[in-house]
Amino acid sequence: MNKINIGLIGCGTVGAGVIKILKNQNKLFSKKFQTEFKIKKVCDKNSAIAKRMKLSKSLFTTKIDDILNDKNIDVVIELIGGTHPAKEIVLQALRSKKHVITANKAVIAKYGSELFKEALKQKKNIYFESSVGAGVPIINAITEGLAGNTFKSLYGIINGTSNFILSEMTHSLCTFADALSKAQKNGYAESNPTLDVNGMDAAHKLSILVRLAVDKIIDVKNIHVEGITQISHDDIKYAKDLGLVIKPLAIAKTANNNLELRVHPTLIDEDHPLASVNGVFNAIFLETDPMGDILLYGQGAGQLAAASGVVSDLVNLATKGENIACARMKNIAYEDRSIKLKQIDQIETKFYIRLLVTDKPGVLSKISGILGKHDISIDSVNQKKQKKTSSVPLVMLTHLAKEKKLRIALEEIAKLSLVKSKPVAIRMENL
Protein backbone atom coordinates (compact mmCIF):
# COMPACT_ATOMS: atom_id res chain seq x y z
CA MET A 1 0.00 0.00 0.00
CA ASN A 2 1.39 3.35 -1.11
CA LYS A 3 1.07 6.14 1.45
CA ILE A 4 1.14 9.85 0.63
CA ASN A 5 1.31 12.40 3.46
CA ILE A 6 -0.42 15.70 2.69
CA GLY A 7 0.12 19.19 4.02
CA LEU A 8 -2.90 21.40 3.25
CA ILE A 9 -2.39 25.18 3.31
CA GLY A 10 -5.62 27.15 3.15
CA CYS A 11 -8.70 25.50 4.59
CA GLY A 12 -11.47 27.62 3.15
CA THR A 13 -14.30 26.35 0.95
CA VAL A 14 -12.13 24.26 -1.40
CA GLY A 15 -9.80 23.02 1.33
CA ALA A 16 -12.77 21.79 3.36
CA GLY A 17 -14.04 20.06 0.22
CA VAL A 18 -10.72 18.26 -0.26
CA ILE A 19 -10.83 16.96 3.32
CA LYS A 20 -14.42 15.81 2.79
CA ILE A 21 -13.65 13.89 -0.43
CA LEU A 22 -10.54 12.23 0.99
CA LYS A 23 -12.52 11.08 4.01
CA ASN A 24 -15.54 9.83 2.07
CA GLN A 25 -13.57 8.15 -0.73
CA ASN A 26 -10.82 6.64 1.37
CA LYS A 27 -11.85 3.04 0.63
CA LEU A 28 -12.06 3.74 -3.10
CA PHE A 29 -8.49 5.09 -3.22
CA SER A 30 -7.17 2.11 -1.24
CA LYS A 31 -8.93 -0.42 -3.44
CA LYS A 32 -8.49 1.19 -6.85
CA PHE A 33 -5.07 2.85 -6.53
CA GLN A 34 -3.53 0.94 -3.60
CA THR A 35 -2.86 4.34 -2.04
CA GLU A 36 -3.63 5.87 1.33
CA PHE A 37 -3.90 9.65 1.27
CA LYS A 38 -3.23 10.90 4.78
CA ILE A 39 -3.69 14.54 5.76
CA LYS A 40 -0.80 15.08 8.15
CA LYS A 41 -1.20 18.80 8.77
CA VAL A 42 -3.74 21.55 7.94
CA CYS A 43 -2.74 25.21 8.04
CA ASP A 44 -4.96 28.27 8.04
CA LYS A 45 -4.59 31.73 9.54
CA ASN A 46 -8.10 31.44 11.00
CA SER A 47 -7.77 29.25 14.08
CA ALA A 48 -11.57 28.98 14.38
CA ILE A 49 -11.53 26.63 11.39
CA ALA A 50 -10.02 23.87 13.54
CA LYS A 51 -13.10 23.78 15.74
CA ARG A 52 -15.53 24.08 12.85
CA MET A 53 -13.82 21.26 10.93
CA LYS A 54 -13.28 19.20 14.11
CA LEU A 55 -9.53 19.07 13.52
CA SER A 56 -7.32 17.97 16.40
CA LYS A 57 -4.60 20.20 17.85
CA SER A 58 -1.93 17.91 16.43
CA LEU A 59 -3.45 18.17 12.96
CA PHE A 60 -4.08 21.94 12.78
CA THR A 61 -1.61 24.82 12.74
CA THR A 62 -1.56 28.51 11.90
CA LYS A 63 2.13 28.37 10.92
CA ILE A 64 2.98 27.57 7.30
CA ASP A 65 6.50 26.47 8.26
CA ASP A 66 5.03 23.62 10.28
CA ILE A 67 4.11 22.09 6.92
CA LEU A 68 7.03 23.26 4.78
CA ASN A 69 9.63 22.04 7.29
CA ASP A 70 8.01 18.68 7.97
CA LYS A 71 10.18 16.06 6.23
CA ASN A 72 7.40 13.49 6.44
CA ILE A 73 5.05 15.49 4.21
CA ASP A 74 5.22 14.40 0.56
CA VAL A 75 2.96 16.96 -1.11
CA VAL A 76 1.81 20.48 -0.29
CA ILE A 77 -1.66 21.52 -1.42
CA GLU A 78 -1.76 25.33 -1.73
CA LEU A 79 -5.28 26.76 -1.63
CA ILE A 80 -4.84 30.28 -0.25
CA GLY A 81 -5.24 32.06 -3.62
CA GLY A 82 -3.60 35.29 -4.78
CA THR A 83 0.02 35.61 -5.85
CA HIS A 84 1.77 36.36 -2.54
CA PRO A 85 2.64 34.52 -0.37
CA ALA A 86 1.35 31.70 -2.60
CA LYS A 87 4.34 31.95 -4.95
CA GLU A 88 6.80 31.82 -2.05
CA ILE A 89 4.97 28.85 -0.51
CA VAL A 90 5.16 26.88 -3.77
CA LEU A 91 8.87 27.66 -4.22
CA GLN A 92 9.76 26.74 -0.65
CA ALA A 93 7.75 23.53 -0.88
CA LEU A 94 9.62 22.49 -4.02
CA ARG A 95 12.99 23.35 -2.44
CA SER A 96 11.96 21.23 0.53
CA LYS A 97 11.63 18.30 -1.91
CA LYS A 98 7.85 18.23 -1.87
CA HIS A 99 5.44 17.98 -4.78
CA VAL A 100 2.88 20.77 -5.08
CA ILE A 101 -0.80 20.84 -5.97
CA THR A 102 -2.51 24.19 -6.42
CA ALA A 103 -5.82 25.57 -7.66
CA ASN A 104 -4.26 29.03 -7.98
CA LYS A 105 -4.67 30.34 -11.55
CA ALA A 106 -3.11 33.71 -10.74
CA VAL A 107 0.17 32.31 -9.46
CA ILE A 108 0.45 29.79 -12.33
CA ALA A 109 -0.39 32.42 -14.96
CA LYS A 110 2.02 35.02 -13.59
CA TYR A 111 4.89 32.95 -12.20
CA GLY A 112 4.49 29.63 -13.99
CA SER A 113 7.85 29.77 -15.78
CA GLU A 114 9.79 30.31 -12.57
CA LEU A 115 7.82 27.68 -10.68
CA PHE A 116 8.06 25.01 -13.38
CA LYS A 117 11.82 25.52 -13.76
CA GLU A 118 12.26 25.13 -10.01
CA ALA A 119 10.14 21.98 -10.05
CA LEU A 120 12.31 20.59 -12.84
CA LYS A 121 15.46 21.47 -10.90
CA GLN A 122 14.15 19.75 -7.78
CA LYS A 123 12.78 16.76 -9.76
CA LYS A 124 9.33 17.40 -8.33
CA ASN A 125 5.98 18.08 -9.91
CA ILE A 126 3.39 20.86 -9.86
CA TYR A 127 -0.20 19.83 -10.52
CA PHE A 128 -2.85 22.49 -11.17
CA GLU A 129 -5.96 20.86 -12.67
CA SER A 130 -8.36 23.04 -10.64
CA SER A 131 -6.72 26.28 -11.79
CA VAL A 132 -8.99 26.17 -14.88
CA GLY A 133 -12.53 24.84 -14.93
CA ALA A 134 -12.52 23.54 -11.33
CA GLY A 135 -13.31 19.84 -11.74
CA VAL A 136 -13.56 19.90 -15.57
CA PRO A 137 -10.43 17.91 -16.59
CA ILE A 138 -9.17 20.31 -19.26
CA ILE A 139 -5.53 20.33 -18.08
CA ASN A 140 -5.23 16.55 -18.26
CA ALA A 141 -7.12 16.50 -21.56
CA ILE A 142 -4.63 18.87 -23.19
CA THR A 143 -1.43 17.50 -21.65
CA GLU A 144 -2.27 13.80 -21.79
CA GLY A 145 -5.46 12.75 -23.57
CA LEU A 146 -4.83 15.01 -26.57
CA ALA A 147 -1.04 15.04 -26.40
CA GLY A 148 -0.76 13.77 -29.98
CA ASN A 149 -2.88 16.59 -31.41
CA THR A 150 -2.20 20.12 -32.59
CA PHE A 151 -4.63 22.78 -31.42
CA LYS A 152 -6.16 25.10 -34.02
CA SER A 153 -8.58 26.98 -31.79
CA LEU A 154 -10.01 27.10 -28.30
CA TYR A 155 -13.27 28.72 -27.19
CA GLY A 156 -13.90 28.63 -23.47
CA ILE A 157 -16.64 29.62 -21.05
CA ILE A 158 -14.21 29.51 -18.14
CA ASN A 159 -15.62 32.02 -15.67
CA GLY A 160 -18.69 30.68 -13.92
CA THR A 161 -19.63 34.02 -12.37
CA SER A 162 -19.87 35.87 -15.69
CA ASN A 163 -21.72 32.99 -17.30
CA PHE A 164 -24.17 32.84 -14.39
CA ILE A 165 -24.87 36.59 -14.63
CA LEU A 166 -25.48 36.56 -18.41
CA SER A 167 -27.61 33.42 -18.08
CA GLU A 168 -29.77 35.08 -15.41
CA MET A 169 -30.11 38.27 -17.47
CA THR A 170 -31.13 36.16 -20.48
CA HIS A 171 -33.55 33.72 -18.90
CA SER A 172 -34.89 35.63 -15.87
CA LEU A 173 -34.72 39.10 -17.47
CA CYS A 174 -33.20 40.50 -14.28
CA THR A 175 -30.77 43.41 -14.17
CA PHE A 176 -26.99 42.99 -14.06
CA ALA A 177 -27.00 44.15 -10.41
CA ASP A 178 -29.72 41.65 -9.44
CA ALA A 179 -27.96 38.79 -11.23
CA LEU A 180 -24.67 39.63 -9.51
CA SER A 181 -26.39 39.81 -6.12
CA LYS A 182 -27.91 36.38 -6.70
CA ALA A 183 -24.51 34.98 -7.69
CA GLN A 184 -22.98 36.32 -4.47
CA LYS A 185 -25.85 34.98 -2.37
CA ASN A 186 -25.39 31.50 -3.88
CA GLY A 187 -21.63 31.57 -3.35
CA TYR A 188 -20.83 31.82 -7.09
CA ALA A 189 -19.24 35.27 -6.84
CA GLU A 190 -16.80 36.91 -4.44
CA SER A 191 -17.80 39.92 -2.35
CA ASN A 192 -15.49 41.82 -4.73
CA PRO A 193 -16.36 40.31 -8.15
CA THR A 194 -14.19 42.67 -10.22
CA LEU A 195 -11.78 40.05 -11.62
CA ASP A 196 -14.74 37.91 -12.71
CA VAL A 197 -16.93 40.52 -14.39
CA ASN A 198 -14.07 42.47 -15.99
CA GLY A 199 -12.71 39.34 -17.66
CA MET A 200 -9.33 39.13 -15.91
CA ASP A 201 -10.06 35.83 -14.19
CA ALA A 202 -10.77 34.26 -17.59
CA ALA A 203 -7.61 35.87 -19.01
CA HIS A 204 -5.45 34.18 -16.35
CA LYS A 205 -7.04 30.84 -17.19
CA LEU A 206 -6.66 31.39 -20.94
CA SER A 207 -2.94 32.09 -20.54
CA ILE A 208 -2.56 28.73 -18.75
CA LEU A 209 -4.46 26.81 -21.43
CA VAL A 210 -2.50 28.46 -24.24
CA ARG A 211 0.79 27.62 -22.57
CA LEU A 212 -0.19 23.97 -22.47
CA ALA A 213 -1.91 23.75 -25.86
CA VAL A 214 0.45 25.74 -28.12
CA ASP A 215 3.62 26.05 -26.00
CA LYS A 216 3.47 29.84 -25.82
CA ILE A 217 4.17 31.71 -22.59
CA ILE A 218 1.74 34.62 -22.35
CA ASP A 219 1.79 37.67 -20.11
CA VAL A 220 -1.85 38.34 -19.18
CA LYS A 221 -1.43 42.04 -19.99
CA ASN A 222 -0.98 41.05 -23.65
CA ILE A 223 -4.44 39.47 -23.84
CA HIS A 224 -7.23 41.75 -25.04
CA VAL A 225 -9.85 41.68 -22.28
CA GLU A 226 -13.38 43.06 -22.06
CA GLY A 227 -15.89 42.41 -19.30
CA ILE A 228 -19.64 41.87 -19.34
CA THR A 229 -20.79 45.01 -17.52
CA GLN A 230 -21.82 46.79 -20.73
CA ILE A 231 -24.15 44.05 -21.99
CA SER A 232 -27.77 45.25 -21.98
CA HIS A 233 -31.14 43.53 -22.15
CA ASP A 234 -31.64 45.13 -25.56
CA ASP A 235 -28.59 43.32 -26.94
CA ILE A 236 -29.71 40.04 -25.38
CA LYS A 237 -33.18 40.43 -26.91
CA TYR A 238 -31.99 41.49 -30.37
CA ALA A 239 -29.47 38.65 -30.40
CA LYS A 240 -32.26 36.18 -29.64
CA ASP A 241 -34.31 37.58 -32.52
CA LEU A 242 -31.32 36.85 -34.79
CA GLY A 243 -30.90 33.29 -33.50
CA LEU A 244 -27.81 34.25 -31.49
CA VAL A 245 -26.72 34.06 -27.84
CA ILE A 246 -24.21 36.23 -25.96
CA LYS A 247 -21.60 34.20 -24.07
CA PRO A 248 -18.46 35.29 -22.12
CA LEU A 249 -15.78 33.59 -24.21
CA ALA A 250 -12.03 33.21 -23.87
CA ILE A 251 -10.70 32.68 -27.40
CA ALA A 252 -7.39 31.42 -28.80
CA LYS A 253 -6.72 30.80 -32.50
CA THR A 254 -3.56 29.76 -34.29
CA ALA A 255 -2.71 30.08 -37.98
CA ASN A 256 0.64 30.31 -39.77
CA ASN A 257 2.55 30.65 -36.47
CA ASN A 258 0.34 33.57 -35.47
CA LEU A 259 -1.70 33.46 -32.27
CA GLU A 260 -4.70 35.60 -31.38
CA LEU A 261 -5.97 35.80 -27.81
CA ARG A 262 -9.01 37.64 -26.50
CA VAL A 263 -11.59 37.55 -23.72
CA HIS A 264 -14.91 39.28 -24.29
CA PRO A 265 -18.69 38.79 -24.62
CA THR A 266 -19.28 37.02 -27.93
CA LEU A 267 -22.30 36.29 -30.09
CA ILE A 268 -22.59 32.67 -31.20
CA ASP A 269 -25.29 30.65 -32.94
CA GLU A 270 -27.99 29.48 -30.53
CA ASP A 271 -27.66 25.93 -31.91
CA HIS A 272 -23.99 25.56 -30.95
CA PRO A 273 -23.35 23.40 -27.83
CA LEU A 274 -21.64 26.33 -26.07
CA ALA A 275 -24.86 28.34 -26.34
CA SER A 276 -26.62 25.94 -23.96
CA VAL A 277 -23.93 26.17 -21.27
CA ASN A 278 -25.66 28.19 -18.55
CA GLY A 279 -25.30 29.10 -14.89
CA VAL A 280 -21.94 28.39 -13.28
CA PHE A 281 -21.12 25.61 -15.71
CA ASN A 282 -17.91 25.84 -17.72
CA ALA A 283 -17.16 24.43 -21.16
CA ILE A 284 -14.15 24.41 -23.46
CA PHE A 285 -14.59 23.78 -27.19
CA LEU A 286 -11.39 22.65 -28.91
CA GLU A 287 -10.63 22.35 -32.61
CA THR A 288 -7.82 19.80 -32.89
CA ASP A 289 -5.95 17.82 -35.51
CA PRO A 290 -6.41 14.91 -36.06
CA MET A 291 -9.06 14.38 -33.36
CA GLY A 292 -11.42 17.10 -34.64
CA ASP A 293 -13.88 19.05 -32.50
CA ILE A 294 -14.05 18.30 -28.76
CA LEU A 295 -16.23 19.78 -26.01
CA LEU A 296 -15.49 19.42 -22.30
CA TYR A 297 -18.32 20.48 -20.02
CA GLY A 298 -18.98 20.54 -16.29
CA GLN A 299 -19.49 22.61 -13.16
CA GLY A 300 -16.86 25.33 -13.06
CA ALA A 301 -17.43 26.62 -9.55
CA GLY A 302 -18.39 25.31 -6.14
CA GLN A 303 -16.71 23.49 -3.28
CA LEU A 304 -16.77 19.90 -4.49
CA ALA A 305 -16.14 20.73 -8.16
CA ALA A 306 -12.86 22.49 -7.35
CA ALA A 307 -11.96 19.95 -4.66
CA SER A 308 -12.54 17.14 -7.16
CA GLY A 309 -9.87 18.63 -9.44
CA VAL A 310 -7.42 18.81 -6.53
CA VAL A 311 -8.07 15.19 -5.62
CA SER A 312 -7.57 14.13 -9.25
CA ASP A 313 -4.12 15.73 -9.01
CA LEU A 314 -3.41 13.65 -5.90
CA VAL A 315 -4.34 10.49 -7.81
CA ASN A 316 -2.07 11.53 -10.69
CA LEU A 317 0.74 12.05 -8.20
CA ALA A 318 0.13 8.62 -6.68
CA THR A 319 0.17 6.82 -10.03
CA LYS A 320 3.10 8.59 -11.70
CA GLY A 321 6.75 8.26 -10.71
CA GLU A 322 9.56 10.80 -10.46
CA ASN A 323 10.71 10.22 -14.06
CA ILE A 324 7.27 11.06 -15.41
CA ALA A 325 7.23 14.16 -13.21
CA CYS A 326 10.48 15.38 -14.78
CA ALA A 327 9.26 14.69 -18.31
CA ARG A 328 6.00 16.55 -17.60
CA MET A 329 7.82 19.58 -16.22
CA LYS A 330 10.15 19.68 -19.25
CA ASN A 331 7.14 19.78 -21.56
CA ILE A 332 5.35 22.50 -19.59
CA ALA A 333 8.51 24.62 -19.21
CA TYR A 334 9.17 24.52 -22.99
CA GLU A 335 8.22 27.54 -25.15
CA ASP A 336 7.87 27.75 -28.92
CA ARG A 337 9.38 31.18 -29.58
CA SER A 338 8.48 31.07 -33.28
CA ILE A 339 4.81 31.74 -32.46
CA LYS A 340 3.95 35.45 -32.68
CA LEU A 341 1.08 37.13 -30.86
CA LYS A 342 -1.39 39.12 -32.95
CA GLN A 343 -2.48 42.51 -31.67
CA ILE A 344 -6.23 43.09 -31.36
CA ASP A 345 -6.14 45.69 -34.17
CA GLN A 346 -4.97 43.00 -36.62
CA ILE A 347 -7.79 40.57 -35.86
CA GLU A 348 -10.71 40.01 -38.23
CA THR A 349 -14.18 39.04 -36.96
CA LYS A 350 -17.80 39.60 -37.77
CA PHE A 351 -19.60 42.21 -35.69
CA TYR A 352 -23.03 42.95 -34.30
CA ILE A 353 -23.56 46.72 -34.24
CA ARG A 354 -26.39 48.52 -32.46
CA LEU A 355 -27.08 52.21 -32.98
CA LEU A 356 -29.79 54.55 -31.73
CA VAL A 357 -30.56 56.81 -34.68
CA THR A 358 -33.00 59.49 -35.79
CA ASP A 359 -36.03 57.99 -37.53
CA LYS A 360 -35.88 59.67 -40.93
CA PRO A 361 -34.85 58.86 -44.51
CA GLY A 362 -31.17 58.74 -45.49
CA VAL A 363 -29.85 57.56 -42.13
CA LEU A 364 -28.88 54.08 -43.28
CA SER A 365 -27.15 55.34 -46.41
CA LYS A 366 -24.95 57.70 -44.38
CA ILE A 367 -23.97 54.98 -41.92
CA SER A 368 -23.39 52.33 -44.58
CA GLY A 369 -21.34 54.86 -46.53
CA ILE A 370 -18.95 55.34 -43.61
CA LEU A 371 -18.68 51.60 -43.06
CA GLY A 372 -18.03 51.02 -46.77
CA LYS A 373 -15.34 53.69 -46.79
CA HIS A 374 -13.50 51.61 -44.18
CA ASP A 375 -13.94 48.31 -46.06
CA ILE A 376 -16.71 47.06 -43.80
CA SER A 377 -19.46 45.20 -45.59
CA ILE A 378 -22.97 44.82 -44.11
CA ASP A 379 -24.49 41.34 -43.96
CA SER A 380 -27.93 42.32 -42.64
CA VAL A 381 -29.84 45.30 -41.24
CA ASN A 382 -32.80 45.36 -38.88
CA GLN A 383 -34.53 48.56 -37.74
CA LYS A 384 -36.49 48.01 -34.53
CA LYS A 385 -39.88 49.68 -34.14
CA GLN A 386 -40.31 52.08 -31.24
CA LYS A 387 -43.56 53.64 -30.08
CA LYS A 388 -43.89 57.43 -29.81
CA THR A 389 -40.25 58.29 -30.19
CA SER A 390 -38.15 60.12 -32.76
CA SER A 391 -35.22 57.71 -32.38
CA VAL A 392 -35.07 54.01 -33.23
CA PRO A 393 -32.56 51.19 -32.65
CA LEU A 394 -30.71 50.08 -35.77
CA VAL A 395 -29.09 46.62 -35.62
CA MET A 396 -26.54 45.50 -38.21
CA LEU A 397 -24.43 42.40 -38.72
CA THR A 398 -21.22 42.75 -40.69
CA HIS A 399 -19.16 40.37 -42.77
CA LEU A 400 -15.55 39.80 -41.64
CA ALA A 401 -14.00 43.15 -40.75
CA LYS A 402 -10.67 44.32 -39.39
CA GLU A 403 -10.94 45.37 -35.75
CA LYS A 404 -8.98 48.59 -36.27
CA LYS A 405 -11.10 49.70 -39.24
CA LEU A 406 -14.33 48.92 -37.41
CA ARG A 407 -13.31 51.05 -34.42
CA ILE A 408 -12.31 53.97 -36.64
CA ALA A 409 -15.62 53.74 -38.51
CA LEU A 410 -17.65 53.66 -35.28
CA GLU A 411 -15.83 56.74 -33.96
CA GLU A 412 -16.79 58.55 -37.15
CA ILE A 413 -20.40 57.32 -36.99
CA ALA A 414 -20.71 58.40 -33.35
CA LYS A 415 -20.02 62.00 -34.38
CA LEU A 416 -23.05 62.14 -36.70
CA SER A 417 -25.90 64.27 -35.38
CA LEU A 418 -28.36 61.57 -36.38
CA VAL A 419 -26.73 59.08 -33.94
CA LYS A 420 -28.16 59.58 -30.45
CA SER A 421 -26.02 57.30 -28.28
CA LYS A 422 -22.64 55.59 -28.27
CA PRO A 423 -22.56 52.72 -30.79
CA VAL A 424 -22.43 49.21 -29.36
CA ALA A 425 -20.28 46.57 -31.09
CA ILE A 426 -20.09 42.91 -30.07
CA ARG A 427 -17.86 40.42 -31.85
CA MET A 428 -19.35 37.31 -33.43
CA GLU A 429 -17.88 33.85 -33.96
CA ASN A 430 -19.08 31.20 -36.41
CA LEU A 431 -18.26 28.02 -34.54
Q: Please state the rounded mean pLDDT for residues 109-124.
A: 94
Q: Is residue 182 part of a domain?
A: yes
User: In this structure, are 353 and 395 located in the same domain?
Assistant: yes
Q: How many domains does the chain have?
A: 3
Q: Is residue 32 part of a domain?
A: yes
**What's the CATH code of the domain at 388?**
3.30.70.260
Distance of CA 3 to the CA centre of its chain: 34
User: In this structure, are 107 and 199 located in the same domain?
Assistant: no
DSSP letter for each residue of 317-374:
HHHS-HHHHHHHHHHHH---TT-EEPPGGG-EEEEEEEEEEESSTTHHHHHHHHHHHT
User: Does 20 have pLDDT greater than 90?
Assistant: yes
User: In this structure, are 104 and 14 located in the same domain?
Assistant: yes
Question: In Å, how far are 160, 166, 307 from 339, measured between CA atoms?
Answer: 30, 34, 35
User: In this structure, are 315 and 399 located in the same domain?
Assistant: no
Q: What percentage of the chain has pLDDT greater than the value 70?
A: 98
Reported as a single tens digit per residue, the pLDDT across 289-338 is 999 999 999 998 889 999 999 999 999 999 987 767 677 888 888 899 99
Q: Is residue 340 part of a domain?
A: no
Beta bridge mates, 21: none
Q: What percentage of the chain has pLDDT greater than the value 90?
A: 91
User: Among the listed ranges 73-82, 258-267, 299-308, which one has the minimum average pLDDT value?
Assistant: 299-308
Q: Is residue 413 part of a domain?
A: yes
Q: How many CB atoms lie within 10 A of CB 335?
A: 14
User: In this structure, are 270 and 237 located in the same domain?
Assistant: yes
State the sign of the Cα–Cα–Cα–Cα dihedral 163, 165, 169, 171.
Answer: positive
User: In this structure, are 34 and 47 located in the same domain?
Assistant: yes
Structural domain span for residue 166:
138-300
205, 216, 253, 342: which is the annotated catalytic residue? 205
Q: Please state the rounded mean pLDDT for residues 178-183.
A: 95
Could you give the dihedral angle defined by the CA atoms of residues 257, 260, 266 and 272, in that order, rounded to the nearest 10 degrees?
20
Q: Is residue 116 part of a domain?
A: yes
pLDDT value of residue 325: 67
**What's the CATH code of the domain at 32?**
3.40.50.720
Q: How many CB atoms lie within 10 A of CB 268?
A: 21
pLDDT value of residue 333: 85
Across the chain, what does the average pLDDT equal? Answer: 95
Q: Is residue 10 part of a domain?
A: yes
pLDDT value of residue 393: 94
Q: Please state the rounded mean pLDDT for residues 59-83.
A: 97
User: In this structure, are 113 and 206 located in the same domain?
Assistant: no
User: Does 388 have pLDDT greater than 70?
Assistant: no
User: Does 195 have pLDDT greater than 70?
Assistant: yes
Identify the band that residue 387 occupies on the pLDDT scale cut at 50, 70 and 90: low
Whether pTM > 0.85 for this model: the answer is yes
Is 216 labeled as catalytic in the residue annotation?
no
pLDDT value of residue 238: 96
Q: Please state the rounded mean pLDDT for residues 97-118.
A: 96
Q: Is residue 339 part of a domain?
A: no
User: In this structure, are 94 and 212 located in the same domain?
Assistant: no
pLDDT value of residue 389: 72
Rounded (5°) CA angle 52-58-64: 85
User: In this structure, are 233 and 318 located in the same domain?
Assistant: no
Which residue, 157, 232, 235, 242, is CA-closest to 201?
157
Q: Is residue 338 part of a domain?
A: no
User: In this structure, are 149 and 276 located in the same domain?
Assistant: yes
User: In this structure, are 175 and 281 located in the same domain?
Assistant: yes
User: Does 385 have pLDDT greater than 90?
Assistant: no
Q: Are 130 and 208 in contact (CB under 8 A)?
A: no
Residues in Cβ contact with 388 at an 8 Å cutoff, skipping those fewer than 6 apart: none
User: In this structure, are 206 and 169 located in the same domain?
Assistant: yes
